[in-house]
Amino acid sequence: ALGLAVDPWTVRRLALIAGGGAARRILLACERLDLDAARAAGLVDRVGDRETALAWAAEIAALAPLTLAYNKLAVARLLEDAPVPDEVAAAFDACWASEDLAEGRRARAEKRAPVFRGA
């Protein structure tokens, strides 16, 4: 754990996709998910090699472009486009300006466990 704060957009997206419980486990406890857990949480749709990914991309590219653009926009706007509350933005900024962040980076560089102080 580095003590890095994840931006509000990513937190919101994680909670929307994986649910509040999984988001809390990942963000509060730094829980790592294996493939099965990530798939169960909705964070992984497909598994495969490069060729499988390229084949899927080709399938998507063959679909109606306007409909694809609409669906992409609708999902993004309808699920995620909400203003970040001021208190959340202030807490995020405080994390990135904190001594804990510097300690996390030092600890990683020195290959030791960080000692966070909440400052």
User: What band does 72 get if pLDDT is binned at 50, 70 and 90?
Assistant: confident
**Mean pLDDT, the chain, integer:** 89
Residue 107 confidence (pLDDT): 92
Residue 3 lies in a domain: no
| Position 50 in a domain | yes
- C-alpha to C-alpha distance for 119 and 116, rounded to whole angstroms: 8
Residue count of the chain: 119
Contact 7, 27 (CB under 8 A): no
pLDDT of residue 50: 97
Is there a domain that residue 56 lies in? yes
- Residue 117 covered by a domain: no
Residue 30 domain-assigned (yes or no): yes
Distances in Å between the alpha carbon of 22 and those of 28, 69, 93, 96, 113?
Answer: 10, 29, 24, 23, 24
- Domain encompassing residue 33: 8-109
Give the CATH number of the domain where residue 45 resides: 3.90.226.10
Total domains in the chain come to 1
**Could you tell me the pTM of the whole model?**
0.65
